[in-house]
Structure 1
Amino acid sequence: MSRASAFLLAAGFGSRLRPLTLARPKPLLPMCGAPMLDHVLAHVRQHGHTDVLVNAHHLWKQVAAWAETRGVALQVELPEILGTGGGLKAAEDRLADVFVVVNGDILSDVDLTALADAVTEGGAAMALRADPVLGERAPVDADTDNVVVRMREFAGTPGVGISGTHFTGIHAAHRSVLADVPDGFACIVRSAYTVRLPARRIRAIRHTGRWVDIGTPADYLDANLAVLDGDLATALPIWERGEGAQGRHWIGADARVEGEVRHSIVGEGARVPRAARLSDCVVWDGVTVPAGDHHRVVFFDDGALEVGDSG
C-alpha cells in the first residue's frame, strides 16, 4: 500500500460512553445501521483519500477486523495508548508528505481537500468551528489571514477575549512536523503545533457546516436520530442499507418488528415484539427489545441504557 494520506483516530477508550464502549470500540458503535467509522471513511474517500490508515488500542481486534474488510491499513498501539501525537509519530514512515487526521467519533462535512491544500511545507492546518457556547472545548483563535495565532489551553496563554471558535479535532499536516513529536504518548497540538505558532506555520479553515462530536450516550442517541431525520447527512447512503422513511424509522435487514416503532432505529436481525413500543430509540443488531413502552433508550449487546434529554 502507498503512504497513507488520511489517518483515522480509533484508539481511544470511549470512557464517557460507557457502558456502550465496554465491549465495543467507540468508533464502531452503530450509526443508522453502520459503524461510525464507515461514515468517517466515506467522508475521507469522498475527498479522494484512497490510502487510509487507522490506529487501534482499546478492543483493537475489532478495529482490525473492520479495517481488513474495508481495505484500510492498521496500526495497533500496544501495550500503551499513544495519544494523538504519539500515534502519528509511530506511523511517520507510513504517512504521505501531507496527510489529514480525522477522529473516528466525529461526524462532519469538513472540507478535507481545502484543509490539506492549506498546508505548507513544515506546517499544518486546523479546521475551526464557531460555537458561542464553547463549554469544555478549548478556544483556538485565527487572524484575518486565517493563521492560527492562539491556542489557549495548549499554549498556556491567558483565557481572555474568547473568540468563539474551537478546534474541531480535524486537521492536516506536513509529515516533517512529526520531528517535533516525542516517541511514546504525546499530543500533536501540545508538541508539534504550539512550537509553530510564533512562526505562523499553522493555517486555519473555518468550518460552518455539520459537525457532531459523539462524546456521551445522549450525543450518540441524538446523532443517530439526526442522521435518521436527514439533519446530519453523512457521505454514507444509509437508505441503501435499510428500509423505512426519513424522520420516521430505519429498519435493518432481517429485523423482526411486530410492535410499534416511532422515530427509532432498529438494527439488522433485531426483534421488537408485539408488546413493545419504541420512540426515539436505537436498537443494535441482533438485540431483542423487552415488552413495554421505551423512550430514549439504547438497546445494546449487553443491556439497555436509558438516555436523558441532551443539554
Structure 2
Amino acid sequence: MLFAAGFGTRMGPLTATRPKPMIPVGGRPLIDHTLELAKQVEPRVIVANLHYLPEVLERHLAPKDVRLSREHPDILDTGGGLLAALPLLGAEPVYTANTDAIWQGPNPFELLRTAWEPDRMDAFLLCVEPASAVGHQGQGDFLLGQDGRLRRGPGVIYGGIQIIRTDSLRDIPERSFSLNLLWNRMETEGRLFGLTYPGRWCDVGRPDGIRLAETLLEAPDV
C-alpha cells in the first residue's frame, strides 16, 4: 500500500499543480523511488491511494501495474485509507509505505520481510537512528527495546515503511483515522515491533529536503 493521497501543504507552491508524490527528486517523481523498491520484493498487488489532484497520479501510475484506491469526497488518513483499500489488498498482512522518503542502503522492504515474525508481531516498523536521518529534526518517535518491541518515546524515527496486520482496522468506528490508533493498541498488547535500518534515509517533507535527498542519492552506498 503506497500512501499518496496527502495534500503536501508543507511543500508550498511545489504542490499547487501536482500531488507531492509527483515532485521530481533525482530526475524522477518521488513515488517512483518507493515503487521501484516495492517491486523488487514482487508483492502480489500494489495499491496507491489518491485524493489530492488524483488525475495526475492516475496518468502516471496507469502503465505501472498499480491499482488505485480513490478517496472521495474526504481524505481518509493512513488508517482509513488502508481500510478502504482492503478489497484490493486482501486480508493478509501488508506492507504500507509513505512515498516521500529516499532510502540509501539495503532494500527496506526486503529487510522487513526477512525479519518478520508473524507469531509475535502485529506491526513491524522500519526505523532510523537519528544519526542516519538526513535533515531530520526532532527527538524521534519510538524507543526500541532489546527484544525489538517499540514503545512511544524520543528515540528512533519511523521511516515510513512497515508490515502490518489489518484485522483490527474494522474495530475502529471512525471512517478517517490514523494508523497511530492501531499502533497504540499493539503497543499495549506488546505486539508492536521495530527494526533499525542500517543505511541512511531522508524525509522529503519540505522543499529543502529535495536538495538533501538528491545529495544522498549521489553519495556512495553505505
Same fold flag (TM > 0.5): yes
Q: Give the deviation of 1:182 after TM superposition.
A: 3.6
> Which residue of structure 2 lines up, in the alignment, with residue 118 of structure 1?
116
Larger radius of gyration: 1
> Which residue of structure 2 lines up, in the alignment, with residue 37 of structure 1?
31
1:171 is aligned, of 131, 147, 162, to 162
Separation of aligned partners in 2, 1:128 and 1:58: 28
Q: Give the deviation of 1:128 after TM superposition.
A: 1.4
- The runs of 5 or more residues in structure 2 that have no matched partner are none
1:188 is aligned, of 155, 175, 179, to 179
- SS of 2:48's partner is strand
CA contact (8 A) 2:126 2:197 kept: yes
TM-score by length of 1: 0.63
- Specify the code of the residue in structure 2 equivalent to 1:34: R
Looking at secondary structure, tell me which structure has more helix per residue.
2
Q: Give the deviation of 1:68 after TM superposition.
A: 0.9
CA contact (8 A) 2:202 2:212 kept: no
Tell whether 2:210 aligns with 1:220. Answer: yes
- SS of 1:88's partner is helix
> Which residue of structure 1 lines up, in the alignment, with residue 194 of structure 2?
204
> Which residue of structure 1 lines up, in the alignment, with residue 143 of structure 2?
141
CA contact (8 A) 1:110 1:209 kept: no
- SS of 1:91's partner is helix
Output the aligned Cα RMSD.
2.2
- Specify the code of the residue in structure 2 equivalent to 1:70: K
Looking at secondary structure, tell me which structure has more strand per residue.
1
- Specify the code of the residue in structure 1 equivalent to 2:116: A
CA contact (8 A) 1:10 1:104 kept: yes
The higher-RCO structure (CA 8 Å, 6+ apart) is 2
List per-residue Cα deviations over 1:55-89 (Å, max 9, x = no partner). 11111111111221111000111111111111001
- Specify the code of the residue in structure 1 equivalent to 2:48: V
Tell whether 2:152 aligns with 1:151. Answer: yes
- Specify the code of the residue in structure 1 equivalent to 2:111: A
Worse overlay, 131-140 or 54-63? 131-140
Q: Give the deviation of 1:92 after TM superposition.
A: 2.0
- Specify the code of the residue in structure 1 equivalent to 2:125: M
Separation of aligned partners in 2, 1:145 and 1:182: 32
CA contact (8 A) 1:106 1:213 kept: yes
TM-score by length of 2: 0.87
Separation of aligned partners in 1, 2:16 and 2:53: 9
**Aligned 1:93-132 pairs, distance under 5 A:** 93-96=87-90, 97-108=92-103, 109-116=106-113, 117-120=115-118, 123-131=122-130
- Specify the code of the residue in structure 2 equivalent to 1:147: R
Does the C-alpha gap of structure 1 residues 26 and 41 become closer, same or farther in structure 2, counting only changes over 3 Å? same
Q: Percent identity?
A: 27
> Which residue of structure 2 lines up, in the alignment, with residue 86 of structure 1?
80
> Which residue of structure 2 lines up, in the alignment, with residue 279 of structure 1?
none
CA contact (8 A) 1:11 1:55 kept: yes
Does the C-alpha gap of structure 1 residues 137 and 101 become closer, same or farther in structure 2, counting only changes over 3 Å? farther
- SS of 2:93's partner is strand
Does the C-alpha gap of structure 1 residues 114 and 181 become closer, same or farther in structure 2, counting only changes over 3 Å? farther
- The runs of 5 or more residues in structure 1 that have no matched partner are 1-6, 153-161, 234-311
CA contact (8 A) 1:141 1:151 kept: yes
Does the C-alpha gap of structure 1 residues 225 and 188 become closer, same or farther in structure 2, counting only changes over 3 Å? same
Does the C-alpha gap of structure 1 residues 223 and 231 become closer, same or farther in structure 2, counting only changes over 3 Å? farther
Q: Give the deviation of 1:137 after TM superposition.
A: 5.5
